Amino acid sequence: MVKKEMIAMLLAGGQGSRLGALTAKMAKPAIAFGGKYRIIDFTLSNCINSGIDTVGVLTQYQPLRLNTHIGIGIPWDLDRNIGGVTILPPYEKSVNSEWYTGTANAVYQNLEFMESYHPDYVLILSGDHVYKMDYEVMLESHKENHADVTIATMPVTIEEAKRFGVAVTDENGEIREFQEKPEEPKSNLASMGVYIFSWDVLKEALEALKDEPDCDFGKHIIPHCQERGERLFAYEFDAYWKDVGTLGSYWEANMGLIDIVPEFNLYEEFWKIYTNSGIIPPQYIADEATIERSLIGDGTEVYGNVNGSVISSGVTIGKGSIVRDSIIMQDTVIGEGCVIDKAIISEGVTVGNNVTLGIGNEVPNKLKPDVYAYGLVTIGEDSTIPDGVKVGKNTAIRGRTEPDDYPNGLLEGGETLIKAGERV
């Protein structure tokens, strides 16, 4: 009989709709981060660094890139005969087949997978946060408190607390009340979406709420456990943690990596971040190129000027081009004589010669003002930008665009250019 003390269930099926054009063809956890990694790398690395060698990754939305990246888990030392990493998409059952309809529903549909390891504890994780955390220390806290459920929490401002589940605790850290995205938070301890459940408690809750529509941990499972009188404790985390769920927070988190003393350190020997990086030749920096305060990935060729930017692997930046305060993902080609200001350019994009991105004043995006904001230009995967066009701020482009798509060679600030057949 296989027995594991604690296994992890990693929720990676989210669409990430607030990232707009970046997630049209891939799940949010698969998005590039820091010029080398994908967002899910941080959670997977936390698992293996914490001694957790059995991880179920629950995928659903656009999983191809994620599945290819994870493979059999070799970069994270998760290629095990017993345990290791297992991709868990929704699957056809003999009765009542369905998509995952909520975070807890996704875990419920994989009860059999969890039961096969006879765990004492189950760790529930999200695949779309950037942080380093030792889950073993959290488990010790769970055991010391004789807890049934431990929720990782983080102090935030009261204004920010409205976006999270909020734990109201006593002096021992026991949770007396849990509010899910409250209008008037009674505490500033925000749930990080990281939970440790004692196995029998989790199993009971999932089975009791199996018919609940869109069953979710924060909205349903945690309140259910409280009503039953289970012991719930908060585990307070006080290091770097970033939910990169909006274009603004994603851009800020990447820009934070290029500070002289970055708040989030990717270079620590004792807590490495592992990734599936493939075999890529070294970078090439031409004589006439200049690079300041930037991260440049392997296999990238720079012939122009890069300042305050994060450039992934396999990118080409042409002669005379200037890239400032931007994120450029892998295998993108920037032509010659371009000026790129505060842009997020996804994978496999081709930008023609003499293109200017990020001109003029900020005006709200007409189609999705809450998504395409922060003064950014956002370009989706595999898009093409023709020679000589100019693009304003708070804009989005997706697809293979032609000169005719730009009246007078211009896409004005606040406009969205999505070619037929592409998702907004």
Neighbours of 244 (CB within 10 A): 22
Residue 73 has pLDDT above 90, yes or no: no
For 333-388, how does the pLDDT look when each residue is reduced to its tens digit (9 = 90+)? Answer: 999 999 999 999 999 999 999 999 999 999 999 999 999 999 999 999 999 999 99
- Mean residue pLDDT of the chain comes to 89
pLDDT reported for residue 321: 98
- Between the ranges 143-157, 180-194, 278-292, where is the mean pLDDT highest? 143-157
Q: 246-282, pLDDT tens digit by residue?
A: 899 999 999 999 987 788 888 777 888 888 777 678 8
Residue 389 pLDDT class (50, 70, 90 cuts): very high
pLDDT band with cut points at 50, 70 and 90 for residue 80: low
Average pLDDT over residues 139-156: 96
Band (91; pLDDT cuts 50, 70, 90): low
Find the range with the poorest average confidence among 28-42, 73-87, 213-227: 73-87
pLDDT at 370: 92
Q: Which of 86-100, 135-149, 209-223, 394-408 has the lowest mean pLDDT?
A: 86-100
As a whole number, mean pLDDT of residues 270-296 equals: 88
Identify the residue with better confidence: 270 or 391.
391
Tell me what percent of the residues of the chain surpass a pLDDT of 90: 62
- Is 94's pLDDT higher than 50? no
Q: Phi first, then psi: what are they for 37, rounded to 5°? A: -105, 175
Model confidence band, residue 96 (pLDDT cutoffs 50, 70, 90): low
Where b means 16+ CB within 10 Å and e means fewer, 322-346 reads bbbbbbbbbbbbbbbbbbbbbbbbb
Q: What are the pLDDT digits (tens) for 160-202?
A: 888 888 999 999 999 999 988 888 889 999 999 999 999 999 9
Largest CA distance in the chain: 70
Within 13 A of 37's CA, how many CA atoms are on the CB side? Answer: 25
Residue 174 φ then ψ, to 5°:
-75, 135
Confidence of residue 82 (pLDDT cuts 50, 70, 90): low
State how far Cα 333 lies from the chain centre. 24
pTM of the model: 0.90
In this prediction, residue 22 carries a pLDDT of 85
Average pLDDT over residues 194-214: 93
Return the minimum-mean-pLDDT range out of 38-47, 66-75, 184-193, 214-223: 66-75
- Give me the pLDDT at residue 103, please: 82
167 compared with 22, residue with greater pLDDT: 167
The pLDDT value given to residue 79: 67
Per-residue confidence at 207, pLDDT binned at 50, 70, 90?
very high
d(CA 109, CA 209): 12
pLDDT of amino acid 420: 72
- Residue 379 has phi, psi (to 5 degrees) of -120, 125
Helices (H), 76-134: 103-108, 111-115
Burial class (CB within 10 angstroms; exposed 0-12, middle 13-18, buried 19+) of 70? buried
Q: Residue 170's CB: how many other CB atoms inside 10 A?
A: 10
- Beta-carbon count within 10 A of 399 CB: 21
pLDDT at 182: 86
Contacts of 405 (CB under 8 A, 6+ apart): 411, 417, 419
pLDDT at residue number 67: 66
Residue 344 has a pLDDT of 97
Residue by residue, what is the 3-state secondary structure of 239-263? CCEEECCCHHHHHHHHHHCCCCCCC
| Mean pLDDT within 145-173 | 92
Residue 223: predicted pLDDT: 93
What share of the chain in percent tops pLDDT 70?
Answer: 89
- Measured between alpha carbons, how far is 65 from 31 in angstroms, rounded to an integer? 9
